[in-house]
């Protein structure tokens, strides 16, 4: 598991959107977090998997942008943004397992063919009766 140092992250305080009365209009409590994947100290395989993610928070230049505005406190929004960034990085920290193709067993083939022949006899009995 990786924890990203705050020195590699750029925070920008902005005004939050939505309801909240005068507090929203006066206080810049929301936070924009920007994290440059290419310039970070993450291992190369993790960087590649992060850049390969189809996530709307990752720009074409390889910068993660996270907006946190759930709380009224700027510090709590910063902590929330950092937690979400760490969760994103840790989701690709472990490489995915490679799929090994398998073959159906002899028994499963026999059961499949037996079921087909039973169905065939049922359908054959539905035909016209000839004398």
Domain ranges in the chain are 6-91
CA distance 14 to 63: 18
pLDDT value, residue 46: 92
3 state SS for 91-110: HCCCCCCCCCCCCCCHHHHH
- Count other C-beta atoms under 10 Å from residue 33's C-beta: 22
Please tell me which residue, 16 or 68, carries the higher pLDDT value. Answer: 68
Name the class of domain 6-91.
alpha beta
Instruction: Judge whether 42 and 50 are in contact, CB under 8 Å.
Output: yes
Instruction: Judge whether 13 and 28 are in contact, CB under 8 Å.
Output: yes
Largest CA distance in the chain: 93
Instruction: State the pLDDT confidence band at 17, using cuts at 50, 70 and 90.
Output: confident
pLDDT digits (tens, 9 = 90+) for 54-98: 999 999 999 999 999 998 899 999 999 999 999 999 999 998 899
pLDDT value, residue 22: 78
């Amino acid at each position: 598991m990786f924890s990203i140092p705050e020195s590699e992250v750029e925070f920008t305080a902005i005004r939050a959107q939505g309801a909240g009365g005068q507090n929203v209009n006066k206080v810049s409590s929301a936070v924009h977090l920007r994290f440059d994947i290419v310039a970070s100290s993450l291992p190369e395989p993790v960087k590649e998997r992060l850049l390969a993610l189809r996530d709307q928070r990752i720009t074409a230049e390889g910068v993660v942008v996270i907006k946190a505005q759930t709380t009224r406190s700027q510090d709590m929004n910063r902590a929330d943004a950092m937690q979400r960034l760490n969760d994103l990085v840790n989701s690709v920290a472990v490489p995915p397992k490679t799929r090994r193709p398998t073959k159906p067993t002899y028994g499963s083939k026999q059961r499949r063919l037996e079921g087909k022949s039973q169905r065939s006899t049922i359908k054959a009995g539905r035909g016209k009766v000839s004398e």
